[in-house]
């Protein structure tokens, strides 16, 4: 009778699986950290070569020391909070207005004829190009920063919401209408769920746009 091959116990299999998962996790962490390590080494090497003035290109230990000092004194948390408030307020305006306009464009031909040319013209213009106009209209301060962030970041939200409504399959709409769904139920149970992935994509792109424009507008228009 042939000898039976030994079978591994469940504890051994679990241990080997756990070890493999741990090794894979460390490999992912190492792969993610590698680009940051390369940039840090290049920064440190360039700083110690003295190619640029130390005040303009300090080594990382000076950056870390300043970070700790500004955080302990409360200066950095104060400005971070102001930035997050501007970002949140501007993005909230963009989300509400962008989703509303996008839904209106997708559901109404008249709204589409009115807003689509304006959005198509305004979206390709760089966000900072609107800064002089907003400065003339609203002056310096948080209001200008919030409104400009909301205005610029609304464009991708409008486009994606409009695309999502247009992408809802016609057979879904006709099936719901055939089953007696009115406009309100059609919107809540067919249009909104069908366009939701596009809306969420637009919100994600709008948030990224809000961050980019906020960095520039805080240097030009925001005041403490």
The string of DSSP letters for 140-181 reads SSHHHHHHHHHHHHHHHHHHHHHHHHHHS-HHHHHHHHHTT-
Question: Residues of the chain with pLDDT > 70: what percent?
Answer: 84
Where does the pLDDT of residue 25 fall: very low under 50, low under 70, confident under 90, or very high at 90 and above?
Answer: confident
Q: Is the pLDDT of residue 20 over 50?
A: yes
> Do 167 and 198 meet the contact criterion of CB atoms below 8 Å apart?
yes
Average pLDDT over residues 210-219: 86
- CA distance linking residue 97 with residue 93, whole number of Å: 6
> What pLDDT does residue 32 have?
84
Mean pLDDT of 157-167: 90
C-alpha dist (Å) from residue 24 to 14, 17, 120 = 15, 10, 46
Mean pLDDT of the chain: 82
**Cβ contact 181:189 at 8 Å:** yes
Region 88-110: mean pLDDT is 92
Confidence of residue 17 (pLDDT cuts 50, 70, 90): low
pLDDT band of 21, cuts 50, 70, 90: low
Mean pLDDT confidence for 181-210:
83
Regarding predicted confidence, which is higher, 2 or 54?
54
Burial zone of 220 (CB within 10 Å; 0-12 exposed, 13-18 middle, 19+ buried): middle
């Amino acid at each position: 009778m042939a000898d039976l091959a030994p079978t591994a116990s469940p504890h051994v299999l679990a241990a080997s699986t756990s070890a493999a998962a741990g090794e894979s996790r460390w490999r992912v962490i190492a792969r993610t950290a590698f680009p940051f390590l390369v940039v840090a080494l290049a920064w440190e090497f360039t700083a110690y070569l003295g190619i640029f003035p130390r005040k303009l290109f300090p080594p990382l230990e000076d950056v870390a020391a300043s970070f700790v000092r500004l955080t302990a004194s409360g200066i950095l948390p104060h400005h971070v909070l102001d930035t997050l408030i501007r970002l949140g307020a501007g993005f909230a305006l963009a989300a509400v207005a962008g989703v509303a306009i996008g839904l209106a464009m997708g559901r109404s031909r008249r709204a589409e004829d009115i807003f689509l040319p304006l959005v198509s013209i305004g979206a390709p213009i760089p966000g900072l190009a609107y800064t002089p106009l907003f400065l003339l209209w609203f002056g310096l301060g948080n209001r200008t920063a919030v409104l400009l962030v909301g205005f610029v970041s609304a464009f991708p939200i409008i486009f994606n919401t409009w695309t999502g409504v247009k992408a809802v399959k016609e057979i879904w709409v006709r099936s719901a209408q055939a089953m007696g769904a009115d406009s309100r139920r059609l919107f809540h149970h067919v249009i909104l769920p069908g366009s939701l992935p596009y809306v969420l994509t637009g919100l994600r792109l709008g948030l990224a746009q809000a961050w980019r424009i906020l960095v520039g507008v805080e240097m030009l228009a925001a005041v403490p």
